Amino acid sequence: MPHVDGPELDAFRHTYRAWLAEHVPPDWRAAEADDPVAVSRAWMRELDGGGYAAPGWPVEHGGMAASLAQQIVMFEENAAADAPPTGLFGIGLNHAGSTLIVHGTDEQREHLARIRRGDEIWCQGFSEPDAGSDLAALQTRAARDGDAYVVNGQKVWSSMAARADWCLLLVRTDPSAPKRKGISYLLLDLRTPGVTVRPLRQITGSAEFCEIFLDDVVIPVANRVGPENEGWRISQTTLSTERGPFFLASVHALRDRVRDGVELLRSTPGPDGRPLASDASVRQSFARDAGEVEILAELYSQVLDSQMRAGHAGPEASIIKLYYSEVLHRLTGHLVDAVGLAAEVDGATLVDHLGSWGMMIGGGTNEIQRNVIGERVLGLPREPR
């Protein structure tokens, strides 16, 4: 991981580590089994009380104005202290927070305090059945009616929408304009009449993604972020939060999968009754995958170091997303192949592999990422339209 030390950072690390030692609930995992949302909300309130809930936000909005290096330190210390997760509030803290801070009105920014305290869970209503990688092709329609918009359409792949209170919604307000010019950005209260949220059961058995159906949903014009038909420009602020330190947790989790894979191969007997780890071909395949994980970690470290120097994320983040998804897919696939039917008993290995297919689609398909790398990183000509 990137170089994040020095006298000031060491002092910050010591202060935050001491705060975590005093405030992380020792029994939160037992409570999470009964009500994970309540545990996350309580931890958000605790973080907010300490001033740590939104480290990247400006101080005037309740944040810390923390540097990227400080945020990396906080991530490392959270993992070391086994702090409760805050992923349920990720869309609010990152996507909604950054967008409202830059583009929101004073009234809209009142959401910020509620997000920090864990009072509001947010989701994102961008993708549609026919507008995924080509997001600008979205067709959800918002017709102006006095001081409100009447919205009809469908969104899909909205993470945690079944638990969310509010939604960042892109809609088409001018169907006659070029597709990037006729989009507006609205804030949707998911309790509004006409909103139906349906979880999507995946092959892994989980259902964090949802469909959102909008039937004559009335949204006040006061809930529009920025000018009408400027939603595409504003959405770029939202999407920019998916870069930078976004993959820290994923890279650490991939390293954990390697350690778990070693134990799985040591404990699972092969056809000859000996542990699979004694098979040279299995060891060589796994060693290649483990090496790629370390290459990914080093590459990501370089990207973050570059971001800390430049002050912003670059298109190199597409390389991380592409490489991560393919390394995850190969590692888990090779483990499933080696373990065979025992993977269905182990469960976690098979679920990891099944879930890896989604990582090559979500957040911009790997094909789209290759276009970004070719055009923005390597400077190759754009493909013909």
At 181-218, the pLDDT tens digits run 999 999 999 999 999 999 999 888 888 899 999 999 99
C-beta separation of 194 from 150 below 8 A: no
Mean per-residue pLDDT, 29-53: 95
Active site (catalytic) residues: 242
**Residue where a domain terminates, one of 56, 85, 114:** 85
CATH no. for residue 183? Answer: 2.40.110.10
Q: Specify the amino acid at residue 311.
A: G
Categorize the per-residue pLDDT at 375 as very low, low, confident or very high, splitting at 50, 70 and 90. Answer: confident
Q: Are residues 198 and 315 both part of a single domain?
A: no
* Phi, psi (degrees; rounded to nearest 5) at 282: -65, -45
Q: In this structure, is residue 237 part of a structural domain?
A: no
Domain of residue 172 covers 122-228
**Residue where a domain terminates, one of 58, 85, 112:** 85
Q: In this structure, is residue 295 part of a structural domain?
A: yes
Higher pLDDT: 357 or 145? It is 145
Distance CA 327, CA 290 (A): 9
Beta bridge pairs of residue 361:
none
CATH no. for residue 255? Answer: 1.20.140.10
Categorize the per-residue pLDDT at 84 as very low, low, confident or very high, splitting at 50, 70 and 90. Answer: very high
Q: In this structure, is residue 178 part of a structural domain?
A: yes
Distance CA 332, CA 355 (A): 10
DSSP state of 89: G
Q: Are residues 181 and 141 both part of a single domain?
A: yes
Q: In this structure, is residue 382 part of a structural domain?
A: no
Distance CA 235, CA 377 (A): 22
| Number of neighbouring beta carbons within 10 Å of residue 263 | 10
Q: In this structure, is residue 74 part of a structural domain?
A: yes
Mean per-residue pLDDT, 338-359: 83
Q: Are residues 250 and 336 both part of a single domain?
A: yes
Reading the block at residue 282, the tokens are 């299995």
Q: Count the alpha carbons within 13 Å of 374 in the hemisphere toward its beta carbon.
A: 10
pTM: 0.87
Q: Are residues 182 and 280 both part of a single domain?
A: no
Mean per-residue pLDDT, 121-133: 92
Distance CA 366, CA 199 (A): 25
Q: In this structure, is residue 235 part of a structural domain?
A: no
Q: In this structure, is residue 102 part of a structural domain?
A: no
Number of domains observed in the structure of the chain: 3
**Residue where a domain terminates, one of 85, 106, 136:** 85
Q: Are residues 194 and 260 both part of a single domain?
A: no
CATH no. for residue 40? Answer: 1.10.540.10
pLDDT digits (tens, 9 = 90+) for 314-324: 667 778 889 99
Whether pLDDT at 49 is above 90 = yes
Q: Are residues 174 and 258 both part of a single domain?
A: no
Q: Are residues 214 and 155 both part of a single domain?
A: yes
Q: Are residues 284 and 167 both part of a single domain?
A: no
124, containing H or E segment: strand 122-125
Q: Are residues 126 and 199 both part of a single domain?
A: yes
Q: Are residues 206 and 270 both part of a single domain?
A: no
Reading the block at residue 34, the tokens are 């009964």
Q: Are residues 251 and 144 both part of a single domain?
A: no
Q: In this structure, is residue 129 part of a structural domain?
A: yes
C-beta separation of 61 from 17 below 8 A: no
Q: Are residues 140 and 256 both part of a single domain?
A: no
